[in-house]
Structure 1
Amino acid sequence: MSREEIIDITNKFLIEEFEVESEIIQPDADLKESLDLDSLDYVDLVVIIESNFGIKLESKDFTNVNTFDNLYDLIGSKLHAVA
């Protein structure tokens, strides 16, 4: 799966599930602030990512995920590790 496909799929479910405007989702924007995430929202985010991409995530995977770009990188690295 290409990076563009990862970004497209991710942005679509972020807009739907977290009810944000597409303009808010910028590569260098702060993920937590932009989506107004609390700890329960992170659980939802993990479940949504796992179901959309068929990957398994752990809390330690999010240690360095601060921006949308970081999130796309995390998903891409997990997908390539499975492939």
Structure 2
Amino acid sequence: MPSGLSSENGQLPGGLGDCEGLATDFCELAGAIVGDEVALPAGTVLSPGTLIGPGTVVYPRNHIGGFLPAGSRVR
């Protein structure tokens, strides 16, 4: 999990589960929250509010948005 990020209660809900419980402004202004050991190659575009779980691998030239659980592979 990324360090230095918190919601009003001091933790990200559900281990990067979604923006529920976080202020809407936080999710829109944060850009994206990326977990540990995520592979994001050049040419990857992340939408605002994107949450990517640890160990996820994204292949080049993708547009990613929403929630990707830990260990996902996106082609």
Q: TM-score range by the shorter chain?
A: 0.3 to 0.5
Instruction: With a CA cutoff of 8 Å and minimum separation of 6, indicate the structure with the bigger relative contact order.
Output: 1
Q: Where is the strand percentage greater, Structure 1 or Structure 2?
A: 2
Q: If each structure's helix is expressed as a fraction of its own residues, which one has the higher value?
A: 1
Q: TM-score, normalised by structure 2?
A: 0.38
TM-score w.r.t. length of structure 1: 0.36
